[in-house]
């Protein structure tokens, strides 16, 4: 009997499709992680997201160049297994054993109820830009469809209402460094929300990449972030999804109804979000311009 060549051909095609892909960068060493994720952390050691939640069997992580936002998100520090989601005031929001909770990111909160869903995604983008020496490029949308960036903040400029419009006035001493950057982010959390961040550029499903976010603008609205992506040889897509929420609370990685933290994504159907009461369509996919 002649042996079928179909399995061999499928294997060769799968190898060919990944032959030109760059290998995924490994997680940084603890000393490097302290520089990349420089906020005060609760965990005694460094446990990266990539080690805790590898992709499902048959799926490979998307390529992520060293120094990229995708690589930075992939290796976010996690709190130990069994950690609940807590609010900015320390109250347990989601129990550690909740079936929809996959992990809690070791990301600090301010003592105020400001770092909610869209704010959490802004925080991640800002922290990444600061870690790669591009803090001055941080620019987020706020009231009136305008952008206000750290480049203006560190010069002492602040938004000032002028009739029906706004101007930027020198109202504070010039300041720089990480402490000043965190003050800028706190200020922006107070001035912005899902309604503003929904104005960032739309992204097609076919162009989806880690760091993109799904957002429903409004009061209340909601936003979640794509933390990582993996694909199989047939082109199927899986994603790790993270969210903050109201009241301001720990960034946490979600788990789907099938028990996996890797959500199946399909262009022809919306995605239901656990621990929230709604779903997102792909028309609500966005990417930060800066």
Q: What is the pLDDT of residues 163-185, one digit of tens each?
A: 777 888 999 999 999 999 999 99
Which helix (H) or strand (E) covers residue 226, if one does? strand 222-231
What is the DSSP code (8-state) at residue 203?
Answer: -
> Hey, is 219 helix, strand or coil?
coil
Which helix (H) or strand (E) covers residue 122, if one does? helix 117-131
Query: Mind listing the pLDDT tens digit for each residue in 28-46?
Result: 999 999 999 999 999 999 9
Give the integer Cα–Cα distance in Å for 190 and 119: 9
Task: Give the whole-number percent of the chain exceeding pLDDT 70.
Answer: 91
Res. 4: pLDDT tops 50: no
Domain boundaries defined on the chain: 30-286
Mean pLDDT confidence for 77-102:
98
Res. 21: pLDDT tops 60: no
Neighbouring-strand partners of residue 224: 214
Concatenating the DSSP letter of every residue in 223-288 gives EEEEEEEEE-TT--EEEEEEE--SSSB--EEE--TTS-SEEEE-TTS-EE-TTSS-EE-GGGEE--
Q: Which structure tokens are listed for 255?
A: 């788990």
CA end-to-end span of the chain = 61
Res. 219: pLDDT tops 90: no
Judging by beta carbons within 10 Å of its beta carbon (0-12, 13-18, 19+), is residue 66 exposed, middle or buried?
Answer: exposed
Query: Mind listing the pLDDT tens digit for each residue in 98-108?
Result: 999 999 999 99
Mean confidence (pLDDT) of the chain: 90
Give the integer Cα–Cα distance in Å for 193 and 248: 13
Q: Which structure tokens are listed for 140?
A: 């987020």
């Amino acid at each position: 009997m002649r042996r079928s060549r179909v399995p061999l051909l499928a294997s060769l095609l799968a190898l060919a499709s990944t032959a030109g892909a760059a290998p995924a960068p490994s997680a940084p060493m603890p000393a490097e992680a302290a520089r990349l994720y420089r906020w005060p952390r609760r965990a005694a050691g460094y446990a990266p997201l990539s080690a805790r939640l590898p992709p499902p069997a048959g799926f490979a992580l998307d390529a992520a160049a060293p120094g990229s936002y995708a690589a930075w998100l992939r290796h976010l520090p996690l709190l130990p297994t069994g950690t609940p989601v807590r609010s900015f005031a320390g109250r347990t929001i989601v129990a550690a054993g909740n079936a929809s909770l996959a992990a809690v990111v070791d990301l600090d909160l301010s003592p105020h109820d400001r770092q909610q869903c869209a704010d959490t995604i802004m925080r991640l983008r800002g922290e990444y830009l600061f870690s790669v020496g591009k803090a001055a490029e941080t620019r987020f949308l706020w009231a009136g469809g305008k952008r206000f960036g750290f480049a203006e903040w560190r010069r002492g400029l602040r938004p000032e209402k002028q009739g029906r419009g706004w101007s930027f006035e020198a109202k504070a001493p010039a300041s720089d460094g990480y402490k000043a950057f965190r003050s800028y982010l706190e200020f922006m959390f107070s001035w912005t929300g899902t309604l503003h961040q929904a104005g960032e550029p739309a992204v097609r499903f076919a162009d989806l990449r880690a760091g993109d976010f799904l957002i429903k603008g409004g009061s209340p609205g909601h936003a979640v972030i794509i933390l990582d992506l993996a694909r199989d040889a047939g082109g199927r897509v899986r994603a790790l999804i993270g969210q903050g929420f109201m009241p301001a609370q720990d960034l946490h990685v979600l788990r789907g109804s099938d028990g996996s933290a890797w959500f199946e994504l399909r262009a022809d159907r919306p995605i239901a979000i656990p621990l929230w009461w709604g779903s997102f369509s792909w028309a609500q996919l966005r990417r930060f311009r800066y």
